Structures are given as C-alpha cells and as structure tokens.
Amino acid sequence: MSKIYKKVSPIMPASIQAAAYADTEILFDWHKIDIKRASSISGLQCIVRGTNGAAQTMVGIDLLFATSHIPTPDDSANVSIDVAPVTLGTTGAAVDTPGWFNNLCGYVPIAAGDFNDADLVYLNIATKSDLNIPVNGDLYVAAIAKGPLDFRQTAQLNDAGGLTAGETATIAVDTRVVTPNWAPGDVIHAVDDAVVGTIKTVDSDTQITLTTANVDALEDDDVLYNVSPIQLILACETHS
C-alpha cells in the first residue's frame, strides 16, 4: 500500500454565497472525486476561506461521502447497481430530497474546535485522521453547515463599460483590495454566476490576471467570488 494526496475544490455558486449559510444548510452538493487509484481515504484536511478577507468564526461542518457502487444482497440475481447519488436538495438550504441513502459510505463530522484559531487570518484549517472511507466505484463528497458560515465579500469589477465575453485576461477590481481574498488558482465567478475565469496572478491590491480571457460577459460593479471557498485535501491509500 502507498499513499497519495488529492486536493478537492467543490463548487459553491457565487449567487448563493451572496447570503450567509445557516445551520443545517447544504454548503455543497455531491461533488465527484477523481481518485481512481485509491482504495480508501485514511485522513483529510478541510480548508475554509474567510469572510471578506478575515477569518471565519468557525462552526462545525458535516462531510458526507457516497459511492456510485451500491452493494446488493446475494440473491442469485447477479444484479449490479451503479448509480450516482441523487441531490441532497438546493445548495444554501436544508436537505429536502431523499433517494441517496444506499449510496452513503462515509460520514466525517468536523467540530468547530477541530479548526485552528485565527492565527492564519485569511482561512481556517482542520485535520481528521484515522478514517476508513472505502473507494469502490465513483466517490462523491457533500457538506452541511452546523452553524452560520459567511463567505460574503465586496470586491467588484471596475470597468465602466463592462466586459464582453473573451475581452481580456486583466481584471480590475475596486471597493476593496483583493490580496486578502484571492490567490493564483482560484476560480472566480460574478454574483449572477457569470464565469470570470481562473486566477493566474494577483498583480496588485486592485488587479488580477486570468489564465485566459474572461469567459462570460460582465457588468461594471459585478461582485466577484471565489467559487471554492471550502477545499479538502484527502489522504488516499492506494492499491498495491
């Protein structure tokens, strides 16, 4: 057996981040994890970005893992059930959709006290070890808030005429500095879920450069969000 590490960046729509999350609300619905070589997950780290560049007042987060491979009784029917879990419900609201029960294969509760304090200023991180989540078929992860979490922020596009799709890779921002909020590799969307792009460099407090020109059209003063403010680093045991 050997170990590999996988970084997972589930999408949390900008339009939903524009309001604070509350206890019991879905932070992100089932996100497929590409770890074909893994046999199990033995540990993880959960990284949570701050609110407008400041650390969160952390609360717990429940992580749920699901598999596409549903075991069936030995009924001589030789039936294999392979199906992705159905949605938990609307992101930013409480779970309200059934049907995923037999897909579940793991539950990792992360308590508020598992996260570090505000020493890192811009994010909080928690580590969970001694896990044994099997990987058999496609693996998915979802998260539910155990209290209020707030990813709202106020950086806005600064371009009087707005931008047409594909116009530029250089994005000017105003209202607040972006250096405490974003870093290279962050995927940025506007609050209406228009796709801006992936940050290549943070050039200054008020400018970023994307890996390619902006994907969708944008309007002046569109509030911009990092759509993966929660990330996981999974420690995966691999097949020999």
**Residue written as tokens 């209406």?**
192
For position 238, what pLDDT does the model report? 87
DSSP string of 6-74, one letter each residue: EEE-----HHHHTS-B-TTBEEEEEEEE--TTEEEEEEEEEEEE-BTTB------EEEEEEESEE----
pLDDT digits (tens, 9 = 90+) for 63-74: 999 999 887 776
Same domain assignment for residues 211 and 234: no
For position 55, what pLDDT does the model report? 86
Same domain assignment for residues 125 and 170: no
CB atoms within 10 A of CB 226: 23
pLDDT confidence band for 239 (50 / 70 / 90): confident
Greatest pairwise CA separation for the chain in angstroms: 68
- Greater model confidence, 239 or 141: 141
Domain carrying residue 61: 2-151+228-238
Same domain assignment for residues 121 and 207: no
pTM: 0.93
Mean pLDDT over all residues of the chain?
A: 94
Same domain assignment for residues 174 and 146: no
Same domain assignment for residues 54 and 14: yes
Same domain assignment for residues 171 and 192: yes
Same domain assignment for residues 43 and 58: yes
Domains contained in the chain, number: 2
pLDDT digits (tens, 9 = 90+) for 3-51: 889 999 999 999 999 999 999 999 999 999 998 788 999 999 999 999 9
* Ramachandran angles phi, psi of 198, nearest 5°: -100, 130
